[in-house]
Amino acid sequence: MWATVTVAGMFLSGLLVGCSTAPTTPTARDELTQKAVAEREEWNRLDPGLETLAKKSEGYAFFPEITKGGLGVGGAYGRGVVFQQNQPIGYAALTQGSVGLQAGGQTYSELIVFENSAAMERFKKNQFEFGANASAILAKSGAAANARFVDGVAVFVRPVAGAMAEAAIAGQRVTYVAK
């Protein structure tokens, strides 16, 4: 059984690695940026403090749509726009692989806020890793007030659709490419 899970995990990882970070056409880049701006406005309605926090930070990566699914072996993928000093400077791709008890599928959006220039530079050099003690805060009213930066990074998620039950071991990677 573990051999099957290992092979499936390697196959899934190969698929996710093959996804490009930035949209390939100028039209697709514009569409992603517009989608990110529209979704951020929705977040701002939930908690205006999140937008204030993001604008006060050194920068942030916003993923308007990440799709996640799994049954024993799972994965997630989404593209986002990276902002520094409130200006778009590039694109990011988020990939995740997981193994364990899990079933379902969901779509969510994610905001990664970089508190200082050191955290932002690590991200831009693709040296960004989620620490073992990092956790995501559910984006809802008052979420910004509960923000806790770990190694200069705070993460917020907002479920969009679907449901997923899981007790799995997962790894997440975010890559950056300049505009």
Sign of the CA dihedral with 11 first, then 17, 22, and 24 last: negative
The tens digit of pLDDT for each residue in 108-130 reads 999 999 999 999 999 999 987 66
Lowest-confidence pick of 12-21, 23-32, 142-151: 12-21
Which pLDDT band, with edges at 50, 70 and 90, does 57 fall under? very high
**pLDDT exceeds cutoff 80 at 65:** yes
Give the whole-angstrom CA distance, residue 141 versus residue 7: 42
Distances (CA, A) of 166 to 2, 90, 101, 169: 18, 32, 6, 9
3-class SS string, the chain: CHHHHHHHHHHHHHHHHCCCCCCCCHHHHHHHHHHHHHHHHHHHHHCHHHHHHHHHCCEEEEEEEEEEEEEEEEEEEEEEEEEECCEEEEEEEEEEEEEEEEEEEEEEEEEEEECCHHHHHHHHCCCCCCCCCCCEEECCCCCHHHCCCECCEEEEEEEEEEEEEEEEEEEEEEEEEEC
The separation between CA 115 and the C-alpha centre of its own chain, rounded to angstroms, equals 16
More confident residue, 62 or 3: 62
User: Comparing 7-11, 26-30, 143-147, 149-153, which segment has the lowest mean pLDDT?
Assistant: 7-11
CB within 8 A of 17, min separation 6: which ones? Answer: 95
